[in-house]
Amino acid sequence: MKNDNPIIYTPDNEPYLGRETLLAFDKSIIASMKVNREIAPYTYKINKSDLQSAACQIIPQGINISLSIRELIQQGYLFGALVLMRSLVERSTTILYLYQNPEKVDLWTKGWNYKERPSLSEMLTAIGKDKFSNVGRIITPFYNSLTHGDPESATWNLIKTKEGDVGYSVSKILDNPKLCDNISLDGSTWLLILISMATAIFPDAKHE
């Protein structure tokens, strides 16, 4: 008898296979690994600036988290992937903020102390500047809601039961392509920021 819902999904039968946004996320991951292969060896050959040292810590973590999000999507754990997105957003925003505000790199070097460092909302607003002056206050509450598990976050693991009722998923979400698209699009966006920062902070790596 055919098992339509296997315990473990593989790349050839994952539940959201064929989604264009998921393919875009995959391409972003491939691009990030290529950039990492070019830059990582170079970082061992140079005397790194404080910003470059911060990038060596932040960017690999972001790529690692992106791969974790992708694996969760493959297995249908969309809610977990969405929650983990907050960690990717934090790292992508942090390195972009430090790149645009080099005078703040010293805060990172000193440990990025909670009481001294800017919040995610503050960093996003500083990056958005006049064109997107409220971006921090618009984006951050959504991710904070997922992290802290308040009532609003419960809307993201709603599912339809076999009986036709609505419940809260404790496991895989296999029938929400829109949520998969949202996660994949976000993942691609924040991962591309990491890639662009890697090439901007290590501009001479390709010449090695």
Per-residue pLDDT tens digits for 113-149: 999 999 999 999 999 987 777 888 889 999 999 999 9
Question: Averaged over 43-51, what is the pLDDT?
Answer: 97
| pLDDT at position 2 | 41
Q: Is residue 208 part of a domain?
A: no
Q: Is residue 55 part of a domain?
A: yes
State pLDDT tens for residues 153-186: 998 888 887 887 888 899 999 999 999 999 999 9
State pLDDT tens for residues 22-43: 999 999 999 999 999 999 999 9
Q: How many domains does the chain have?
A: 1
User: pLDDT band at 44, cuts 50/70/90?
Assistant: very high
Q: Is residue 15 part of a domain?
A: no
Residue-number span of the structural domain to which 59 is assigned: 20-203
User: pLDDT band at 103, cuts 50/70/90?
Assistant: very high
Q: Is residue 76 part of a domain?
A: yes
This prediction has a pTM of: 0.92
134 DSSP assignment: T
Q: Is residue 106 part of a domain?
A: yes
Q: Is residue 9 part of a domain?
A: no
User: Above pLDDT 70, what percent of the chain?
Assistant: 97
* Helix boundaries (H) for the chain: 20-43, 50-74, 78-100, 105-109, 120-128, 135-148, 177-201
Q: Is residue 153 part of a domain?
A: yes
| pLDDT at position 159 | 85
Rounded to 5°, the CA angle 152-158-160 comes to 155
Helix (H, G, I), strand (E, B) or coil at 202: coil
Q: Is residue 6 part of a domain?
A: no
User: pLDDT band at 208, cuts 50/70/90?
Assistant: low
